[in-house]
Chain A
Amino acid sequence: MGKAVNRFFGFISRYRRHRFAGPLMLLGGLLFAGVGYTVAQAATEEVQVVLSSDKASLISEGKEIFARGCSSCHGLNAEGAGAAPSLIGVGAASVDFQVATGRMPMADMSQQAARKEPVYDERETAALAAYVASLAPGPAAITNEELFWERDGNTAEGGELFRTNCAMCHNLAGQGGALTQGKYAPTVMGVEPRHIYEAMVTGPQAMPVFANSVLTHEEKLSVIKWIKFVETEPSLGGAALGRVGPVTEGAVAFILGLGILIGIAVWLTTKAR
């Protein structure tokens, strides 16, 4: 065995300087690279095939759910019908927002689709989003994990942005407010970060779209951070009374404040006799 190895190395060292040695080495190298590339190519293609078949099935699953749950209003191909708008080009973000907050499928054709318990789970929502996104490109859905609002946002700046851009509809404390004809801007308290983000990106119903030219990605994160701050801030100075401002304060002053005082006055004047 030892002899054979010795002979092999001896052969190589003997022919190392042979005139065909160079081209032969090149050929071998090329051959190796070629074969390797082909094999690797095939391997990655195989991965992609797996992925796209998953996506395709997600889309077809979405299409199916859509046909069952949404097409009655939005049309079989999401082209829109009657009061329900076309969904072509609204993107996955819009679907994720509408479906995961329970707004869609709309329960009844009232003024405004209200937030409620979602009908579909995460996977079904993703399927619907994928289906609608496959119709035409639009804003992509986002996950809470992709939003680094705690790291990249700035609470003070977010508050300022919220007061400038959102408070006229959603109230200074984010408690929501009435719009005309029975429409309303809901409270932004207790909304998942990704849905706050998607609401800004897609502008559901009466809400305007806040494109990146209006609010940059970082500014959106700041807005989210401020909302989350107000939501979790302990109520300073006592019970927050629903944070709806002077209306409840007035009611409390009358009922609790003056009410107790009059009660005591009645008690004082009857006890005396």
Chain B
Amino acid sequence: MSARERIAGGTASFIDERTGAAKWMKKTLTKVFPDHWSFMLGEIVMYSFVILLLSGTFLTFWFDPSMREVEYEGSYEPLNGIKMSAAYASALHISFDIRGGLLMRQIHHWAALIFMAAMVVHMMRVFFTGAFRKPRELNWIIGVALLTLGIVEGFLGYSLPDDLLSGTGIRIAEAIIQAIPVVGSYLSYFIFGGAFPGEMFIQRIYAVHILLIPGIMLALITAHLMLVWYQKHTQYPGPGRTEKNVVGYPLMPVYMAKAGGFFFIVFGVTAFLGAVAQINPIWIYGPYNPGQIGAGSQPDWYMGWLDGLVRAAPPIETHAFGITISWNILIPGLIIPGIIFTLMAFYPFIEQWMTGDKREHHVLDRPRNNPNRTAIGAMSLTFTLVSLINGGNDLLATHFDLAINQIMWFSRIGLIALPPLAFVITKRICLSLQRADREKVLHGRETGRLVMLPHGEFIEVHEPLSPEKAYVLTAHEQLPALEIGEADANGVANPQGLKGKLRARISKASQEQISKPTSKEMLELEDGHH
């Protein structure tokens, strides 16, 4: 019995003697997790979430979620005597009069930004490696739900202090709600408890921000982790790693020690940012007042791309039957995000439809080995990035001496033209990387060493790859495109008709690959004559 096993066994028997859960514990604690930095992204998300819960709880001790008007009398002199909501006053109170209050506010906000950033990068990892494939589609959908909730949660939290900057964001949100045809204005009335901004709003979003959404997220995260648990973690291709096993470290003690330590690292980095970098200085922005607005108002970054889409929309409205439909808000504010999130949630199934591959997968793809998926990912990221850039168009204009209208037109054209371009370029890059892999397997690695042959010719020495390396480069399978014939063997026309043809087309385009070395080629290589 190795030391590691002893510790796991010891922990299990300690618990067992008290709870009788030996079997379950033992299975659990010796459970194996593969080791790769990209598998720790999910952990960063999880730890940031814990930090958010803890720092947020601290803030609730003093935050007063009320729009009752008060006259500020506090230690921030330049706001003394100004009328403001109790919510804003209490946020100032936390910042200036509560010991550690400002630090906590800043940690909470930095943790939120890191949480969302890590979530997006975690999702990118899952996407580009194909970790969402069967049987993990459900976990992917849970992930999309968490992402959506995270965006809403962040936006509400950002709005709570009732400062002038976030109030501007609420105003835009209200415009988006009002743009919903027919029911929009009723909905807005309902949400704000009357005409904007009303007197209920902060109170309401407070309940949603500290109770409802965190509760749902906690439940979803639990389900998410349990699924990771039962379905086991995926692993990157490597010798000895198959669809049937998991190669890695046992949970106890190695993984626990690492993960536990990593929590403190995440906490440390967040606290460090909270201590040295100012974030959301609400006291400079002043209290919210519907009659005031600031130039260069921006939402947090995870909302920025939505803001950018709204900014890019040309002003189009239609008036019919006494109803005004503001397409310029409706389309970028609701319809496009709706389409994006729906496509995202269903992507695992869309891919299955494209490839016809409905089997289980536990070994991850190297992104280059699925050029189509990687290109789709690059395309989506490009779209989001261009809209994010447009969301900061006013700042880009002032800081880089550009005209806001130029950036606007760049974005409008870019939103349509750049994503397909990114798709094509990424696909080409993937295919050339595949070609390079093939070369490497067949002819070895370029060593950079030049040798002069007896007859004076220079050649570069190629070193054969180690079997492990060669395995990694060749382990993936290359699916043929779907065959959907015009007619079957009996001459009966394909019942799927046009739809089938379309699917075959898509499948053919999406399955474009550089064929990897065949086993015959490999054998020849081993025999030494090539």
Please give the residue numbers on chain A whose beta carbons come within 8 Å of chain B beta carbons, in ascending order.
111, 155-157, 159-160, 163-164, 167-173, 175-182, 184-185, 226, 229-230, 235-241, 243-247, 249-254, 256-258, 260-262, 264-266, 268-270, 272
A260 to B404, CA, bound (A): 33
B contact residues around A157 at 8 Å (CB): 81
Interface residues of B in 78-109 (CB under 8 A from A): 78-82, 95, 102-103, 106, 109
B398 proximal to A (CB < 8 A): yes
Given known contacts A163-B286, A237-B281, what 12 new A-B pairs fall within 8 Å (CB)? A167-B295, A173-B284, A179-B404, A181-B404, A182-B405, A235-B281, A243-B281, A257-B273, A258-B44, A264-B262, A269-B37, A272-B258
- Given the known interface contacts A172-B164, A258-B121, the answer about A111 and B403 at a Cβ–Cβ threshold of 8 Å is yes
Q: Which of A170, A181, A245 meets B405, CB within 8 Å? A: A181
B contact residues around A184 at 8 Å (CB): 397-398
- Given the known interface contacts A246-B300, A257-B270, the answer about A269 and B165 at a Cβ–Cβ threshold of 8 Å is no
B304 proximal to A (CB < 8 A): yes
Interface residues of B in 92-135 (CB under 8 A from A): 95, 102-103, 106, 109-110, 113-114, 117-118, 121
In the complex, what residue of chain A is closest to B265 when comparing beta carbons? A264
**Do A156 and B277 touch across chains, with their CB atoms under 8 A apart?**
no
Pairs A-B, 4 closest by C-beta atoms: A177-B295, A250-B301, A182-B403, A253-B113
Interface hub of A171, A181, A243, A261 (most chain B Cβ within 10 A):
A261
**Do A156 and B80 touch across chains, with their CB atoms under 8 A apart?**
yes
B contact residues around A175 at 8 Å (CB): 296
| A to B CB contacts below 8 Å, 30 in the list | A156-B80, A163-B292, A164-B289, A164-B292, A172-B297, A178-B398, A182-B402, A230-B284, A238-B275, A238-B276, A238-B277, A238-B278, A244-B399, A245-B280, A246-B280, A249-B113, A253-B117, A253-B301, A254-B301, A257-B117, A257-B270, A258-B114, A261-B44, A261-B265, A262-B37, A262-B41, A264-B265, A264-B269, A268-B37, A269-B40
A178 to B276, CA, bound (A): 29
Please give the residue numbers on chain B whose beta carbons come within 8 Å of chain A beta carbons, in ascending order.
35-38, 40-41, 44, 77-82, 95, 102-103, 106, 109-110, 113-114, 117-118, 121, 164-165, 249, 254, 258, 262, 265-266, 269-270, 273-281, 283-286, 289, 291-302, 304, 392-395, 397-399, 402-406
**Do A155 and B296 touch across chains, with their CB atoms under 8 A apart?**
no
**Do B262 and A268 touch across chains, with their CB atoms under 8 A apart?**
yes
**Do A156 and B81 touch across chains, with their CB atoms under 8 A apart?**
yes
- Given the known interface contacts A167-B292, A175-B296, A185-B295, the answer about A265 and B114 at a Cβ–Cβ threshold of 8 Å is no
- Given the known interface contacts A178-B404, A180-B404, A258-B114, the answer about A247 and B301 at a Cβ–Cβ threshold of 8 Å is yes
**Do B291 and A177 touch across chains, with their CB atoms under 8 A apart?**
no
In the complex, what residue of chain A is closest to B283 when comparing beta carbons? A236
A184 to B165, CA, bound (A): 20
**Do A260 and B403 touch across chains, with their CB atoms under 8 A apart?**
no
A contact residues around B78 at 8 Å (CB): 155-156, 159, 226, 229
A contact residues around B269 at 8 Å (CB): 257, 260-261, 264
Q: Which of B35, B114, B298, B403 meets A247, CB within 8 Å? A: B298
**Do B258 and A252 touch across chains, with their CB atoms under 8 A apart?**
no
**Do A247 and B270 touch across chains, with their CB atoms under 8 A apart?**
no
Q: Which of A163, A182, A240, A269 meets B294, CB within 8 Å? A: A163
- Given the known interface contacts A156-B79, A171-B296, A246-B304, the answer about A178 and B394 at a Cβ–Cβ threshold of 8 Å is yes
- Given the known interface contacts A156-B82, A246-B301, A249-B300, the answer about A182 and B40 at a Cβ–Cβ threshold of 8 Å is no
